[in-house]
């Protein structure tokens, strides 16, 4: 009996150790903490797969638990006044400094778009709430955190359009005056899928000649920028990295457009390009846009071009058009569309499937004459900036936050 318990205990321990342990590069700090954190994400992902398989709840419905556990009710504190409002029908959380300078003094503003692959996340998650408060107090700025609607309940372009409507509403003289915001000092910013939305909306506003008030800056934190080549060196190198393995990123991409699994399968195989999208592959040719050092040991081969999505053309025309839409893939525009974009801050992480998306945008924006600050974290992993809350608080998150805020202070 005792021996039996011991054997059971040892078996359980080794199973747990096996489950938690996974090869994480030596360079990454606080590796064990990351392994433990990631084992939670992996378990949830397995549970979500199982739930979908059994027809209980779809995958993203289960993954949404990540958002739920971190949700807080944003309330005012001694420095920051927080209100929940609707801008043109879209929910926003508005953070304003309580300490007024002189009444006539105008303040800076940051429009923030949370991450979560367009399917998860909320401006009301504690890491976003904390970041907003920090931005308000350190910059004496107004922060507008947008609660855009999510896929798969709302596929592209709904999340983008929600963001666009909020930005258009905010960038009106009367509205800015109401919050004492300086029309010349407004930035848009976001992490991951939020960085995607920030880049896309920045491009859209520059195209509109009737848009009098323009953004001064865009701060993109490990942004997602293109859906055409899901086999860049960073996708290959980091396909099993914690937090955002390649499978999950491909899942986010496909769910953004459709719940039809045919697109997911085609994207996994990188065979989702069609004759229409293939003319845009030149904009994401990493062999041309990544500095040599990021090629690693990989050799460029252009993604396959297939008639219909992965040979499953039925009903896939719409999503196939969408993933080549620059509002979903901001890298897919000619240089002329990048010229005169607001100056940019782009953060990338070495251990991130999205590393090369960010670096390609750095190259392309610079070539178009846009001022870019590129901050690359050699030991960074995807999502790191958001790990600021105990027990999943990481040292690197603090460094990233400080550097990001510093850039905004100096450039906005």
Q: Which residues are catalytic?
A: 192, 352, 382
Stretch touching ligand NAG by CB under 6 A, among 49-57, 297-305, 323-331, 342-350: 297-305
If one asks whether residue 304 binds ligand NAG (CB under 6 A), the answer comes out as: no
Q: Does residue 292 belong to the site contacting ligand NAG (CB under 6 A)?
A: no
Q: Does 78 bind ligand NAG (CB under 6 A)?
A: no
Interface pick for ligand NAG out of 78, 292, 297, 378 (rule CB under 6 A): 297
Between CA 205 and CA 167 the distance in angstroms is: 9
Pairing between β-strand 107-113 and β-strand 80-87 as defined by DSSP bridges:
unpaired
CB of 235 to ligand NAG, least distance (A): 13
CB nearer to ligand NAG: give 228 or 412: 228
Distances (CA, A) of 56 to 199, 242, 277, 327: 36, 26, 36, 33
Q: For the chain, how long is the longest CA-to-CA vector?
A: 80
Among positions 102, 293, 299, 307, the unique one binding ligand NAG when judged by CB under 6 A: 299
What is the nearest approach in angstroms of ligand NAG to the Cβ of residue 236? 8
287 near ligand NAG, rule: CB under 6 A: yes
What does residue 268 show for φ and ψ, rounded to 5 degrees?
-60, -40
The single residue among 288, 304, 367, 395 that binds ligand NAG, judged by CB under 6 A, is 288
CA-CA-CA-CA torsion sign (162, 166, 168, 169): positive
Q: Which range binds ligand NAG by CB under 6 A, 97-105, 242-250, 283-291, 402-410?
A: 283-291
CA distance 311 to 123: 39
Based on the shown chain and the rule CB under 6 A, indicate whether residue 302 belongs to the binding site for ligand NAG.
yes
Using DSSP's 3-state secondary structure scheme, residue 283 falls into: helix
> Does 275 sit near ligand NAG (CB under 6 A)?
no
282 sits near ligand NAG (criterion: CB under 6 A):
yes
Closest CA to 111 of 177, 221, 186: 186
Q: Which residues contact 230 (CB under 8 A, 6 or more apart)?
A: 246, 249, 250, 253, 267, 268, 270, 303
The CB-of-292 to ligand NAG minimum distance in angstroms stands at: 11
Cα of first residue to Cα of last residue in the chain, in angstroms, is 69
Candidates 7-15, 122-130, 159-167, 281-289; binding stretch for ligand NAG (CB under 6 A): 281-289
Nearer to ligand NAG, 143 or 284 (CB): 284
Question: Judged by CB under 6 A, which stretch of 109-117, 153-161, 254-262, 292-300 contacts ligand NAG?
Answer: 292-300
**Tokens at 20, concatenated:** 């938690």
Least distance (Å) between residue 370 CB and ligand NAG = 21
Sign of the Cα pseudo-torsion (364, 292, 301, 227, in order): negative
Which of helix, strand or coil describes residue 30?
A: coil
Alpha-carbon span 229 to 383, nearest angstrom: 21
Span of 24-32, 293-301, 314-322, 399-407 interacting with ligand NAG by CB under 6 A: 293-301
Residues lying near ligand NAG in the complex (CB under 6 A):
282, 285, 287-288, 297-299, 302
């Amino acid at each position: 009996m005792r021996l039996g318990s011991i054997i059971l205990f040892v078996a359980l321990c080794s199973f747990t150790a096996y489950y938690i342990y996974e090869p994480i590069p030596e360079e990454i700090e606080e590796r064990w903490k990351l392994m433990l954190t990631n084992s939670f994400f992996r378990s949830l992902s397995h549970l979500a797969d199982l739930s979908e398989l059994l027809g209980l709840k779809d995958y993203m419905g289960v993954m949404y638990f990540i958002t739920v556990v971190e949700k807080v009710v944003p309330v005012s504190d001694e420095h920051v006044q927080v209100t929940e409002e609707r801008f043109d029908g879209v929910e926003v959380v508005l953070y304003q400094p309580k300490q007024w300078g002189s009444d006539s003094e105008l303040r800076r503003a940051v429009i923030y778009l949370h991450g979560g692959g367009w399917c998860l996340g909320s401006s009301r998650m504690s890491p976003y709430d904390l970041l907003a408060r920090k931005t308000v107090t350190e910059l004496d700025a107004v922060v507008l955190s947008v609660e855009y609607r999510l896929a798969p309940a709302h596929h592209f372009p709904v999340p983008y359009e929600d963001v666009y409507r909020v930005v258009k509403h905010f960038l009106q003289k009367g509205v800015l005056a109401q919050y004492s915001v300086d029309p010349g000092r407004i930035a848009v910013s976001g992490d991951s899928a939020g960085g995607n939305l920030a880049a896309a909306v920045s491009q859209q506003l520059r195209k509109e000649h009737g848009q009098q008030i323009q953004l001064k800056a865009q701060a993109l934190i490990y942004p997602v920028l293109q859906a055409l080549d899901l086999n860049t060196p960073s996708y290959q190198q980091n396909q099993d990295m914690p937090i955002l393995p390649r499978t999950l990123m491909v899942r986010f991409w496909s769910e953004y457009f459709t719940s039809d699994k045919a697109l997911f399968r085609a994207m996994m195989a990188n065979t989702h390009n069609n004759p229409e999208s293939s003319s845009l592959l030149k904009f994401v040719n990493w062999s041309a846009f990544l500095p040599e050092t990021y090629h690693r040991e990989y050799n460029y081969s252009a993604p396959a071009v297939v008639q219909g999505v992965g040979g499953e053309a039925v009903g896939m025309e719409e999503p196939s058009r969408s993933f080549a839409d620059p509002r979903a893939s901001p890298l897919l525009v000619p240089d002329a569309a990048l010229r005169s974009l607001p100056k940019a801050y782009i953060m990338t992480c070495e251990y991130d499937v999205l590393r090369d998306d960010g670096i390609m945008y750095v190259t392309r924006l610079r070539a178009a004459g846009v001022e870019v600050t590129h901050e690359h974290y050699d030991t960074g992993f995807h999502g790191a900036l958001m790990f600021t809350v105990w027990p999943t608080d990481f040292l690197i998150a603090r460094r990233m936050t400080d550097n990001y805020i510093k850039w905004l202070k100096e450039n906005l």
